[in-house]
Amino acid sequence: MRHIAKQQITLLMRSHWLTGFGLLFSSLAVMVTFLGNTGGSGFDGFNRMTASLLNINLLLIPLLSLLIGSLFLSGEKEDRGLLLLLTYPVSPWSVIIGKYIGLFVAVWSVLTFGYGAALLVIFFSGAGVSVSLLFLFYLYSLMLAAIFLSLSLVIGIFAKSRFQALGISLIIWAFLVLFYEFLIMGLSLLLWKQWLLPMLTVSIFLNPIELIRVQSILSLDGATVFGPRLYDLTIWADGVTGKTLFIFAFLLWMLLPVIFSVYRLKRGVADEE
Amino acid sequence: MEGLSKHYSATKKVIDIHLVINKSEIFALCGGNGAGKSTLIKMLTGMMKPTTGKVLLEGRDLDLRSHEYKKQFSYMPDEMLFPRHLTGREVLAFFARLRGIGDDKVNDALQQVGLFEVRDTQIKHYSKGMQQRLSLAQALLPDVPLRILDEPTNGLDPFWVFRFKEIIQEEKRQGKTIFFTTHILSLVEELADRAAFLEEGQLKLCDTVDSLVHQNGIYIPLEKIFFKSPS
């Protein structure tokens, strides 16, 4: 597993993908931090800067994690590297966990670099941005990457080519980031009023992006953005039960795709060809 | 291989094989496109689960996906593409580490396939033939009793086809069993001890190459035997 993880990190570090992702994420993080500081709108809690940073996290990290993971894995399958690996005395668990660790370490290094750069901007500009707030965002970014890299493994294992992996990744990303909200809004129009809150609560757990979005906003004491109708939800979600369920849901989103990928690999990826 | 078969549906059976490969022999499996060679290789290497049948290794019925079975063979895939940004040495070192093999063996394998001088060059600068040789080096790395080679001479220039034959003969002298697939029947005649012809998933002919090409004291090339017209 260690050798597979190391190999994956080397591959990612040498590819232009990670450099591109790193540059894009760092420049956006620095820009948002810098421009967020110029508004004079206060820096604690949910404000312009945190909202922008949250949006970058929620849009960019899922997309890039899905793309990097699925394209690398499907590419390896297309080039027969994965099939060759399966003829070696290594277990499917070692292959998947090794690849997952390698992917995560690579994305983690990019996120650390991006947030590090943002921290430097804050330090040199003498802005009053809370470091703990930035750290919280960093933590949520890593959680997002952990979930979406895990999903990317499933896509990579199932896709028959890089192009198919690209297509599936984009569809999943677009659904979770863009269309899911419309779907929930549409559903809420059709449901009885008393079903609204339970439905919205469940909908948060069914989409990892919403899960992280809601928890990020609550962590920033920004519950007011949800409006008075969802006051009960924010109280519940911010409590012990809510936090516990959040961690549980996060672990499920991270672990289930990994387990599923291992199961698929055990059945034999060549079977589908 | 005892009744090794693969069914994609109740009606579509792609392969059904009974075959014995002797220890320390070079066995060639021939057949046209879609004959089932790749399917057989995938089942033999544990990449694909057979619908029925089993593989007995020195009489032992092993699970084709077990570590114990996978430690008995090495495999050279057909048209393997290695990661472009790694060097030849890095690729081989990775595969060596997966089997607990040291770096000295990596250098030996690179020497054997003539890639030692370019060991620190990235794969993106390798030609197709060089990648094929690297793939062969990967299969030569471990000290295992069986080597399974899928179209091993694809993309090799005449000199390296010649060297490949020398390497395989040397492997045989060391007691290794070689199972390879190919389209090139002249290679089978020169290299293999026994050969089989696969057609639509069924073994049509299987014998020693000598018996196949010498019938009643007359030499008949393999292509005439394998592709005999119905008339």
> pLDDT, tens digit, for every residue of B107-151?
999 999 999 888 899 999 999 999 999 999 999 999 999 999 998
- Any B CB within 8 A of A84 CB: yes
State the nearest Cα–Cα gap between B224 and chain A, in angstroms. Answer: 33
Cβ partners under 8 Å of residue A195, min gap 6:
none
User: In the numeric block, which tokens belong to residue B162?
Assistant: 């010649």
- Any A CB within 8 A of B12 CB: no
Residue among A19, A167, A12 nearest A100 (CA): A12
Residue of A88, A263, A266 to mutate, testing the B interface (most B Cβ within 10 Å of its Cβ): A88
> pLDDT, tens digit, for every residue of B25-46?
999 998 877 777 888 888 888 8
Q: CB A89 to CB B49 under 8 A?
A: no
Pairing of strands B26-31, B194-199: parallel
**ipTM metric:** 0.86
pLDDT band at B9 (very low <50, low <70, confident <90, very high): low
pLDDT number for residue A32: 78
Nearest-angstrom CA–CA distance, A140 and B74: 44
Q: CB B79 to CB A10 under 8 A?
A: no
**Nearest Cβ partner for B75 among A78, A84, A91:** A84
pLDDT number for residue A147: 96
pLDDT number for residue B224: 76
Domain coordinates of chain A in residue numbers? 2-177+257-272
State the nearest Cα–Cα gap between A80 and chain B, in angstroms. Answer: 6
| Residue located via tokens 């996978």 | B70
Going from the C-alpha of B30 to that of each of A8, A255, B78, B187, B189, the distances in angstroms are: 36, 44, 14, 11, 11
pLDDT number for residue B190: 87
A83 contacts on B by Cβ (under 8 Å): 42, 47, 77
Residue among A32, A201, A49, A186 nearest A118 (CA): A32
Low-confidence ranges of chain A (pLDDT < 70): 36-47, 126-129, 221-233, 235, 237, 268-273
- Any B CB within 8 A of A271 CB: yes
Which strands, in side-by-side order, build the sheet including B2-7?
Answer: B13-17, B2-7, B52-54
This prediction has a pTM of 0.86
